[in-house]
Amino acid sequence: MVIVMRADATDSQVRNVVSRIEAAGLSTCISAGQSRTLVGIVGDKRLIVTLPVEAFPGVEKVLPVTDSYKLASRQFRPTATVIDAGGVTIGGGSLAVMAGPCAVESREQLLEAAEIAREGGAQFLRGGAFKPRTSPYSFQGLERRGLELLDEARAATGLKIITEVVDVTSVEMVAAYADILQVGARNMQNFKLLQAVGQAGKPVLLKRGIAATISEWLHAAEYILSEGNYQVVLCERGIRTFEEYTRNTLDLSAVGAIKQLSHLPVIVDPSHGTGRRELVRPMALAAVAAGADGLMIEMHPNPAQALSDGPQSLDPAEFKGLMREVTALAGFLRSAAAAANG
Ligand code: PEP
Ligand code: MN
């Protein structure tokens, strides 16, 4: 349920509404819009109906939230959420780029990749220290040593770090190093993990599951938000379809759908989304045009030697070329929108 305050409601009326709702054992979530404040109520429906909310001073009306995910819903919070990850923002009109190798393989490989990511203009270095591999015989990651190398790369470049957490037991360890915790596609519905990252006190990037609907994805985000962590970024990374030419089918319509349904920022990963290096550029440009808040790009100093996902990794020159194009396109779209809107 969302309470719409009157345009002339005072701060003390808003505070009064919040304290009466919280005194009844419910939680609130405030959205201060341009012209009026909205107060979302979460909790047991039976408690909500006992409150004479419409009669509270300053209240204009009460609206039901019909989506079954509430905190993630745009009905509940109409203004776009902007994430702050160690001082770098995601959402709110800027384009965040997370780039780096699939896996942290060695000190030399990671520091070189980090330098290329920085030179290209990325804000985040990505790289898995824990790798959820399809085969148990494939490289599983350097684990704690990988996290230490990411920390060193952050100190060397100033880039923020995003890295995957694969299970509940390692959340604390990964959170001690990462600026953003990544929950991978294979874990999107690992509800215990979602709750644990919801309590970890760090922003979370939630990848769409391999066979997840948009509704299931937003419900997964709701698990994190319902732990009190509102710093959630969604990432479209392709879904499984009958198509075999590409590794996955990148669903760019999800960007527009998420913007309609939710206030959370959404980024696109065209690397896992296509599995093919030559398709990363067109899909990255299309994602920016579709309104994505950022991109996740796999890049390796020497893709032919990569221990994982070499075929979809850009080399340094391809990455820098892509960054120039993406930056130019984002600038063009901003000025086109400004011109069209007068
Ligand atoms: C990754 O980004 O390292 C990864 C494993 O991606 P996904 O979870 O989307 O497969
Ligand atoms: Mn990968």
Query: Which amino acid does the sequence have at 220?
Result: A
Does residue 259's CB lie within 6 angstroms of at least one atom of ligand 1? no
Q: Taking residues 63-86, report their average pLDDT.
A: 90
Query: Which amino acid does the sequence have at 318?
Result: E
Does residue 102's CB lie within 6 angstroms of at least one atom of ligand 1? yes
User: Candidates 272, 296, 309: which one to mutate for ligand 1, based on the most atoms within 8 Å of Cβ?
Assistant: 272
> Where do the domains of the chain lie?
2-63, 83-341
Element (H, E) at 337: helix 316-340
Question: Model pTM greater than 0.85?
Answer: yes
Are 159 and 153 within 8 A, CB to CB? Answer: yes
| pLDDT at 303 (0 to 100) | 98
Which atom in ligand 1 lies closest to the alpha carbon of residue 298?
2
Which atom in ligand 1 lies closest to the alpha carbon of residue 235?
9
CA 210 to ligand 1 center in whole angstroms: 10
Q: Give the architecture (CATH level 2) of 83-341.
A: Alpha-Beta Barrel (3.20)
Q: Give the separation between CA 33 and CA 31, rounded to whole angstroms.
A: 6
| pLDDT at 260 (0 to 100) | 98
pLDDT band at 1 (very low <50, low <70, confident <90, very high): confident
Does residue 183's CB lie within 6 angstroms of at least one atom of ligand 1? no
Q: What digits encode the pLDDT tens for the residues 199-230?
A: 999 999 999 999 999 999 999 999 999 999 99
Given this structure, which CATH class describes domain 2-63?
alpha beta
**CB proximity list for 232: less than 8 A, separation 6 or greater:** 72, 81, 83, 203, 204, 205, 206, 221, 224, 225, 264
Point out the ligand nearest to the CA of residue 185. Answer: 1
Q: Give the separation between CA 235 and CA 250, rounded to whole angstroms.
A: 11
pLDDT band at 314 (very low <50, low <70, confident <90, very high): very high
Q: What digits encode the pLDDT tens for the residues 114-147?
A: 999 999 999 999 999 999 899 999 999 999 999 9
Q: Give the separation between CA 140 and CA 138, rounded to whole angstroms.
A: 6
Q: Rounded mean pLDDT of the chain? A: 95
Q: What digits encode the pLDDT tens for the residues 266-306?
A: 999 999 999 999 999 999 999 999 999 999 999 999 999 99
DSSP state of 314: B
Would the pLDDT of 96 be above 90?
yes
Element (H, E) at 324: helix 316-340
